[in-house]
Structure 1
Amino acid sequence: MLAKFRPLMATAVKGKMPPAVAASTAAAAAAAEREEHVHYKHTDACKHLRWTAKESYEYMYARPWSRVVDFYAELVRTGAGAAGLAKLFGKDESDYTLDTTQEACLTSSEKQSPTISSKDRGGRWERVTFKIVLSYHGGSFDGWQKQPGLNTVQGLVEKQLGKFVDERKAKQLESRSLPVEGCAVVAGRTDKGVTALQQVCSFYTWRRDVKSGDIKDAISEAAPDKLKPLHVSEVSREFHPNFAAKWRRYLYIFPLDEDDKLILGEDQTPQILESSEQSIIPQSFDVAKVDEIVRQLSGKTLSYRMFARDTQASRSIGPPTECFMFHSRAAVAKLYSSTENCKEGMRVMCVELVANRFLRKMVRVLVATAIREAGAGAGEDALLKLMEATDRRATAPPAPPEGLCLVDVGYEEFDKQRCFIVD
């Protein structure tokens, strides 16, 4: 917005100031205009120039994202869950099926020991808690979090859960002129356009007649083929989908450009900057280089405040921004479509990230920045160096949400062998 008014500001100043001062002001305004898209000044030498924020944004979005969106939509429609991704990497689908044996044991043991709590206990000790594993298509919703006037996953799920709210809570809601809806607590909110294959949320009620199958059937009716409950089970009263989670796994699918077209367009030539020794803007990037860069994050606890978005920088310092990355890899795969005219498949880059927690838009910024650094030929410690930056403009704008997928959430110890991309 400020850039829009700079010419008007410069014109107004010229009419009131002496010619020498006016010329100086105009020169300053022109310099500021040129710096509008100048990227963070890195000190290390690279093979090519780094893309500016505008160039990086254009490069990321100029992709056949519809193929990725359709692929995710098919996984949600069939209810394949995380196992649906196994074929991308030549894995056995049975190794990634949803494991519910541990939940059954937990529920059974709790039911067998009701004498632990006294008869006088009330509140949460009287309620029944359900764990719900959901699969939903990001392109069909405005994100997870419920917002007025928007079609969100939480809003739809809680509306269906309203059928199982106990009578006391229903009267409280009606007395306040509020809709009778349940409360769904989630393991991690997803943005608009981001798909989830095995998202986890919980719901509790004081009604003893509610069955897991009833909840599953109710949610299934909400948005067929777009929102699918994979599993519903009664769990411990102390279960919290967010605080109890030990790790989260995300997968980002990025369509590769077979023709290696320039980010500036087919008919344009790379931009040359006379004031820089590195004068060539990169045309593409190497997936192997991206893998070298992102794998440096594995096994480390780092502050990702420079890779967060939609949060104030002053509130993103210290432990709240620290994440432990269990696994981070990138590899090339073939994305196949169920339609007959796409049997040849499309080459894509898959980035798999597993951490104990993620900040807002952190995965999308990490992927976009890793691609930018790989295109520039930066060293394998490029992301580690950016951790020490003081300005978020040092990192690239977030990659498109259409490529991101929350694969699953783990409540057991992390097992590297269950990852898709392994050494």
Structure 2
Amino acid sequence: MWGHFTRGKNTSAQTQKHMLAEFRPLMATAAKARAPPAVAASTAVERDEHVHYTHTDVCHHLRWTAKESYEYMYARPWSRVIEFYAELVRAGAGAAGLAKLFGVDEKDYTPDTAGENCLAPLEKQTANIASKGRGGRWERVTFKIVLSYHGGSFDGWQKQPGLNTVQGLVEKHLGQFVDERKAKQLESRSLPIEGCAVVAGRTDKGVTALQQVCSFYTWRKDVKPGDIKDAISEAAPDKLKPLHVSEVAREFHPNFAAKWRRYMYIFPLDEDAKLILGEEQSSNILENSEHNIKPQSFDVAKVDKILRKLAGKTLSYKMFARDTQASRSVGPPTECFMFHSRAAVATLNFVNEDCKEGMRVMCIELVANRFLRKMVRVLVATAVREAAAGAGDDALLNLMEATDRRATAPPAPPEGLCLVDVGYEDFHKQRCFIID
């Protein structure tokens, strides 16, 4: 056959057609020989279809999938929460602005200035003696800055090229207080003359802060706290407000010196209930007697019971973290001590509200010594999902032992999250908004 197939151009069209007909079976046999094993193909298909963590408890059929949880979380009137946070920032009351939600005295929630004296008197005296006759960092002046900013107006805290970030704006206006030596160094490198602001904790895009803490140092002796406050006030009126600026000890570091951080998540409850499942999927569940229709709402009291189990414990929250490398998500770096974790119902009232009644919301208050990336948002979404499914009060504790982050829900929307304040003294439960 091969001899006839290679005869050349003189071969007639009929002869070529006959040879191709004989050659096709051999081509098919060769293709089968080159095909990968059937087991490998099925494994690849199974890998692509495995997109959800498999829960094995009794309420697994009532638990929302990642997609269903995401859709439920985002199908809320978040614009009204954004408006509420914007009004708090404009008022410049800091954490005290949340006090009226819970009927507590606003005077107990003024900006915490305890960090200004982070050293004991004897330690201060020793530090001053040790710094005599020394230059460099021992001569610089450090300032503690308490900021309030609206998350919906910025692309997060961390400075990034081409984005409108809080850090980028603050450091730009701190540039006028940079000492001459630092200014020359920046000019020689063709860099803009900007200050350096170290923060207590970075916030993501959309997250509001009522009493964020950052620090700035300079070798200039003529800079006053009032000068810094005035400069930042001009950066973005009504969107970024400096609440308090003070000179602190050189050793003060807003992140390392902090003993606790407090977050508040506001979740709207007044949105009309919507089906989480489509009509086709819902009809399939109804036909199968082994399954029930997935829930469309949750009980705030149940969320509170689930969150209470976290308080007073040091736990690894690696399953509730996001955007972290696997090598950095094992061991003590993922452990956090939760001082306080509660949920309660409140009512948001607006200045220009047409309706007499405000919007009912669920407020979740979390206080811990540290938080991992997106940890609060994942905790909120997972607690809501578990409460809706009717899981036990230990639902979050049981998920700590999971080996796949898909066991937890996708992060809740950033618009509901707010960094309330940062503490530099021992935590006292009396400072909390939601108290038994």
Equivalent runs, 1:327-342 vs 2, <5 Å: 327-342=340-355
Provide closer, same or farther for how the CA distance between residues 349 and 265 of structure 1 changes in structure 2, counting only shifts above 3 A: farther
Aligned to 2:428: 415
CA distance in 2, matches of 1:147, 1:25: 43
Query: Equivalent residue of 2:53, what SS?
Result: coil
Provide closer, same or farther for how the CA distance between residues 252 and 354 of structure 1 changes in structure 2, counting only shifts above 3 A: same
CA distance in 2, matches of 1:166, 1:248: 32
Q: Compute the displacement of 1:343 (Å).
A: 3.2
CA distance in 1, matches of 2:87, 2:115: 28
Return the match for 2:413 from 393, 396, 400: 400
Query: Equivalent residue of 2:406, what SS?
Result: helix
Equivalent runs, 1:154-173 vs 2, <5 Å: 154-173=167-186
AA matched with 1:87: K
How many residue pairs end up in the alignment?
406
* 1:168-219 superposed Cα distances (whole Å, 9 cap, x missing partner): 0000000010000000000000000000000000000000000000000000
Aligned to 1:387: 400
CA distance in 1, matches of 2:323, 2:229: 34
Unaligned runs of 5+ in 1: 1-14
Equivalent runs, 1:36-75 vs 2, <5 Å: 36=51, 39-46=52-59, 49-75=62-88
CA distance in 2, matches of 1:109, 1:24: 72
Provide closer, same or farther for how the CA distance between residues 115 and 188 of structure 1 changes in structure 2, counting only shifts above 3 A: closer
CA distance in 1, matches of 2:402, 2:112: 41
Query: Equivalent residue of 2:255, what SS?
Result: coil
Q: Compute the displacement of 1:97 (Å).
A: 1.8
Provide closer, same or farther for how the CA distance between residues 166 and 213 of structure 1 changes in structure 2, counting only shifts above 3 A: same
Aligned to 2:300: 287
Greater CA drift, 388-397 or 109-118: 109-118
CA distance in 2, matches of 1:232, 1:48: 53
AA matched with 1:83: A
Aligned to 2:215: 202
CA distance in 2, matches of 1:407, 1:192: 16
Q: TM-score, normalised by structure 1?
A: 0.89
Tell me if the contact between 2:178 and 2:194 (Cα under 8 Å) persists in the aligned partners. Answer: yes
AA matched with 1:237: R
CA distance in 2, matches of 1:107, 1:215: 26
Query: Equivalent residue of 2:273, what SS?
Result: coil
Return the match for 2:262 from 249, 263, 266: 249
Unaligned runs of 5+ in 2: 1-29
CA distance in 2, matches of 1:279, 1:123: 69
Aligned to 2:251: 238
AA matched with 1:314: S
Q: TM-score, normalised by structure 2?
A: 0.86
AA matched with 1:410: G
Q: Compute the displacement of 1:312 (Å).
A: 1.5
CA distance in 2, matches of 1:348, 1:118: 53
CA distance in 1, matches of 2:40, 2:123: 74
Provide closer, same or farther for how the CA distance between residues 246 and 104 of structure 1 changes in structure 2, counting only shifts above 3 A: closer
Return the match for 2:116 from 98, 103, 109: 103
AA matched with 1:195: T
Q: Compute the displacement of 1:342 (Å).
A: 3.7
* 1:16-66 superposed Cα distances (whole Å, 9 cap, x missing partner): 559x99998987777666544xx3112211285111111000000010000
Computed over aligned residues only, the root mean square deviation of the Cα atoms, in angstroms, reads 2.9
Greater Rg, structure 1 or structure 2? 2
Greater CA drift, 276-285 or 63-72: 276-285
Identical-pair percentage: 82
Query: Equivalent residue of 1:40, what SS?
Result: coil
Aligned to 1:193: 206
AA matched with 1:233: S
